[in-house]
A and B are shown apart, each in its own frame.
Chain A
Amino acid sequence: MFASLIRVTKSGGLSFWRNKWLSVATIIVMSLAIFGITNLLLVNVLIDSLITNLEDKIDISVYFNLDTSEEQILATRDSLIELSQVKSVEYISTGEALKNFKAKHQDNQVLMQSLQELETNPLEAALNIKAQVASQYESIVNFLEKEEYQKVIDKINYQENRTVIARLSSITTTIRQVGFIGLAILAILAILVTFNTIRLTIYSSRKEIKVMKLVGASNWFIRGPFVIEGAIYGIVAVLATLAVLFPLLWYLSPKITTYLPGTDLLYFFQTNFIALLLLQLLVGIVMGTVSSIIAVRRYLDA
């Protein structure tokens, strides 16, 4: 058993080497496939960080009646935090609101003077709420429309921002879906092209397979070297992909960061290198071996 395994492995390696040109052609196709899949993955990372950037810029503010006590506001905040849709809630007291207002309008003499003429602070306390995903604002607002909150809440600026939020949320969902569908379609395409290439490689060996059967080789003894060859294709293709991808990212990543601050593809690549490598190896080896097994099958039946 063990001896057969060594023979099969050796035979696969030897065949890989002797069919150099065919091997190279197959590896190039597989590399392109793996390269494409990896790039799409990286593009999805880019899209994700772009969307997060965008979503971070929207929030809704809830303004409380002036006579609302701080306890009531803090209680509202606590119950908001417990909602799964809520990412963060920031409390702005009346004092802070005033300070912010002054800082913002310090050059506007008229405003400053009229503010001084007022005895009391006219600005309402507020909670700035950020949702996990843009589409969740609706449900947060619904939550705040309950009786108990209606008494203390003066207004929610959601209605004014509503169209912007809705549009943004629909854009981000669409981008995510398109990204995912694109990834899926291209991955299937890459797999089919690879399968076909390996099928052609094995087609060129169909006579040999028949001869092997005639001299009494068992099906596994025939299949084995092809499977090993397929696995070697996968491994070499992954290494070739990395050899291209790494310098490419090294060159491109700083340029992307200038356009999309906070996105560092090279850093992402480096921190997830092991996971990416394993994923690529998995894809490469599975594609190589499974394609070989399927392709050899039809010549084994004869």
Chain B
Amino acid sequence: MIVFNKVSKIYLPNCKALDNINLTINSKEFVSIAGRSGAGKSTLIRLLIKEEFPTKGNIFWGKQDIGQIRDKDLPIWRRQIGMIFQDFRLLPNKTAYENIAFAMEVSDWTKQEIERDVPQLLKLVNLIDRADHFPSQLSGGEQQRVAIARALAHRPDILVADEPTGNLDLLHTWEIIRLLIKINELGTTVILSTHDRDIINGLDKRVVTIEKGKIIKDDENGKYILF
């Protein structure tokens, strides 16, 4: 369970990116964070992975206050969250296989475990025949699938997707969304941030709508309400 408790983030001098956010996300939930560009979606996510610190308030994961995690332990926290981004953020000098294996290597998985899991992950995202391709040799949708496989490599409890379909065409967009639903059904909490009306309306899951740094709507089976 993730709890945002009265969280505010102010960028100097006086840009209020997030204003007194109270939000609870249960485990194994699929939550969409909706809102226009600049509404504060990405800030919310950056606070969650401790890329930035809240100006006020606390974020809890279970009983752990994320703000209290020491820099030394940050890598261990990050391994419990899988992240995917609009720009994929794959390592350009590593193949699809190596990108996924790298995420496992950093958490000290054994060679045997890596050799067992990476092909499985590649199968899950339907890219087993592209294992030896470098990111530059893959299409946008394929790159994002590699990124998803990498995000799942250390079996995270939470998968955070920050505008994962922003760079993709309609066909690939739904491919990715279906994959996220499948991953959620397998038991991972999924937090999806997007400004795409069609995705949100098609999902029929919980929608948290943010506008100007505030939560203005939080609906089970919600619809996109901004115009």
A residues apposed to B, CB below 8 Å: 3-4, 7, 15, 18-19, 207-208, 210-218, 221
B75 and A216 contacting across the interface, CB-CB below 8 Å:
yes
Residue B103 at the chain A interface, CB threshold 8 Å? yes
B107 and A214 contacting across the interface, CB-CB below 8 Å:
no
A213 and B78 contacting across the interface, CB-CB below 8 Å:
yes
Instruction: Determine the chain A residues whose CB is within 8 A of the CB of B151 once the complex forms.
Output: 215
**A3-B110, A18-B93, A208-B93 known; A214-B49 Cβ under 8 A:** yes
In whole angstroms, what is the CA distance A3 to B106 when docked? 11
Instruction: Determine the chain A residues whose CB is within 8 A of the CB of B90 once the complex forms.
Output: 211
Instruction: Determine the chain B residues whose CB is within 8 A of the CB of A210 once the complex forms.
Output: 89
Chain B 65-96 against A: per-residue CB contact (8 Å), 1 yes, 0 no?
A: 00000000001111100010000011111000
Instruction: Determine the chain A residues whose CB is within 8 A of the CB of B93 once the complex forms.
Output: 15, 18-19, 208
> Closest chain B residue to A208 by CB distance?
B91
In whole angstroms, what is the CA distance A221 to B102 when docked? 10
**A15-B93, A208-B91 known; A215-B108 Cβ under 8 A:** no
Number of A-B residue pairs, CB cutoff 8 Å, is 51
A7 and B154 contacting across the interface, CB-CB below 8 Å:
no
The 6 nearest A-B residue pairs measured at CB: A216-B79, A217-B106, A216-B78, A215-B103, A216-B75, A211-B89
Q: Is the interface of A mostly helix, strand, loop or mixed?
A: helix
B108 and A214 contacting across the interface, CB-CB below 8 Å:
no
In whole angstroms, what is the CA distance A215 to B111 when docked? 18
Q: Count of chain B residues with Cβ under 8 Å from any Cβ of A?
A: 24
**A211-B91, A212-B91 known; A217-B75 Cβ under 8 A:** yes
B residues apposed to A, CB below 8 Å: 49, 51, 75-79, 83, 89-93, 102-103, 105-108, 110-111, 150-151, 154
B89 and A214 contacting across the interface, CB-CB below 8 Å:
yes
In whole angstroms, what is the CA distance A6 to B105 when docked? 11
Known contacts A208-B91, A212-B91; 18 further A-B pairs (Cβ under 8 A): A3-B110, A7-B105, A18-B93, A208-B93, A210-B89, A211-B89, A211-B90, A211-B91, A212-B102, A214-B78, A215-B103, A215-B106, A215-B150, A215-B151, A216-B76, A216-B106, A216-B107, A218-B75
A3 and B111 contacting across the interface, CB-CB below 8 Å:
yes
> Closest chain A residue to B100 by CB distance?
A215
Instruction: Determine the chain B residues whose CB is within 8 A of the CB of A212 once the complex forms.
Output: 91, 102, 106
Min CB gap B226→A, angstroms: 29
> Closest chain A residue to B111 by CB distance?
A3
A218 and B110 contacting across the interface, CB-CB below 8 Å:
no
> Closest chain A residue to B82 by CB distance?
A215
Min CB gap B22→A, angstroms: 27
In whole angstroms, what is the CA distance A96 to B93 when docked? 83
Instruction: Determine the chain A residues whose CB is within 8 A of the CB of B110 once the complex forms.
Output: 3
Min CB gap A14→B, angstroms: 8
In whole angstroms, what is the CA distance A208 to B89 when docked? 8
> Closest chain B residue to A211 by CB distance?
B89
In whole angstroms, what is the CA distance A208 to B92 when docked? 8
> Closest chain A residue to B89 by CB distance?
A211
In whole angstroms, what is the CA distance A213 to B77 when docked? 11
Q: List 12 A-B contacts (CB under 8 A).
A: A3-B108, A3-B111, A4-B105, A7-B105, A213-B75, A214-B78, A216-B103, A216-B106, A216-B107, A217-B75, A217-B106, A218-B75
